[in-house]
Structure 1
Amino acid sequence: MQALLESIRYNEGKFPRKELQQLIDNKEEAIPHLLAIVEEVINHPDAYLDEPSRIDLIYSLYLLAQFRETRLYPLFIQFLNLPEADMDAFLGDVVTEGVGRILASVYSDDITPVQKIIENEELDEFIRGQGLHALSILVLHGRLEREWVIDYFRGLLEEKCSEEYPTFNAQIISSLADLYGQEAYDVMKRAYEKQLVDTMMIELDDVERILKMPMDVVLENHRKDHHFQFIEDTIKELEWWACFEQERKKPPLLSKVWTNKDNIYPKPTNPAIKVEKIGRNDPCTCGSGKKYKKCCGK
């Protein structure tokens, strides 16, 4: 097992399909070792970052999420709360494409730790937003009550909506829209009127367009969307990443979009390999004034 773990420690440009499959096949033996990797990073974050080609943390998180290993839940919460940590350096685009899904996959019926992530203003706004996203996923898959979560999101928008965090405010509204939060429409509208929302992420027109659709259609579309599903297959999740040199077509994965019309899933980058690309939250190069992910990056 130790030799197998060493073989996935670094990214050497080739996807370790065989090795990951062996870990999956030997799940019970692998789990304690994968948890130990996460603990090692929590205890010695600088040492992990000093080896920029390391990738075993990402493999460990995805595998443990696939295994529904609830022992990862408190560890992952602790990791996300690392003081002054730059999560992009650890996770790359997993910050926005995977953190919420991993949290939801290993959730262990105690919502308080996720709420603390969401409400911690010292954390990156996108990490806080992934806490919101985790709750949305849990609602869509029947683990949490929709009405309670919408009421919680509405309370955040009413009580903790600060002009200092327009990105986070937009993510609250995005999450309300994901769950067809008609009940919170007035609060969302006031946030726009007060100019508290990053409109490059979501505009009031986007919200209103969703709320004109039947609720069951919106919720079912999101349940089918890759971004709202639990981690089920680590190999399929990661094998097509740009940091692996593979000559094959990317699998079709749905992207999280308001009207569910697009089917392009932006490639995550791996922090172990520097990949030059337009950031999903950078201004779009077409000059529209919108963020890339809301424009040509859809």
Structure 2
Amino acid sequence: MFGFLTRYIDRKVQRVKKSIMSVGLWATLAAYRGSVFWMSVVTVVWASIFLYAAFYTAYMPSLAYTRPVHMQYKPCYSNKGVCDYPSAHIKLPTKSSMMMIGQKYRIIINLDLPESPVNEQVGMFMVCARLADRHGQLVSSSCRSARIRYISDILRNLRTVVKSPLYLSGLAEEKQSMVLEMYTDFEEDRLHPITDIHFEVLDHDVQIYAARMTILARLSGLRYLMYHWPVFSALVGIGTNLLFAFAVFAMSWRHLFGSEVIDNKHNSESSSSHGSLIKLDSSEDSSESSSDSADYVPDESNVFKVKRSTYAAADLMIAEQ
């Protein structure tokens, strides 16, 4: 009775231990899967944002590039004036190509001209631009005509009277700003990237306050959409990256933690546990049989009775003979 109770308690204890181990294993596995899942989600989101930012940086060109144009000339020593045409040389950045291949650009020069009698007498004049590569080879050239706008004497006097406070305070000047578009749709040649721009004013007497060069990118298609609607394009780009990344993540997750993999693991674990239980039961049965055989002690009275009956039978057989 005592041995049966002990074995029963041992079996219950073993079952409780197995249930506790299974619950702990399930909790550990769930925590591991949850941590892997959320870490993967955060990694995928940041990777999608980084990919869109990298694509935006590589795909979008520089929208504007402005440089001052410093005109140079050789003065005449015989008489007052300029002996050659005013010209300027601009060196573009050489670390990376200023212009992107396949992108169209506008090249503009801004001239600030004083409203002087000399410029009125000059009338029309030509401004030329020459584009060269790093070897000095001429790639393209363009010329535009220009002239200050005509203003009658009456209108000039009225304007001078109205704007006299601004002229006296230095907030305004008697000048005209002129915008010359040297190139409208310029595309850089892959074999001859532009590194130098030369400007020249084909007139000796023209007077110039200041000059500026501006290179503007003419955006179209996807670049136009990405620049003018940045939030919408960012949402679409990041969403597309997330779609493909989560598709790959879902396939990888199913391959690692899918239902088929879990079923196979459970089957292998159940078969191993079932085999261990069978071994445990057989060992318990063998121990029970050995304990029973060890506990069995023959009764002396029974042995004595058997001996007496055997001797009586032998005496009877002798008497009959």
Higher-RCO chain (CA-CA 8 Å, sequence separation at least 6): 2
Higher-Rg member (1/2) = 2
TM-score by shorter chain over 0.5: no
Scaled by the length of structure 1, what TM-score is found? Answer: 0.18
Scaled by the length of structure 2, what TM-score is found? Answer: 0.17
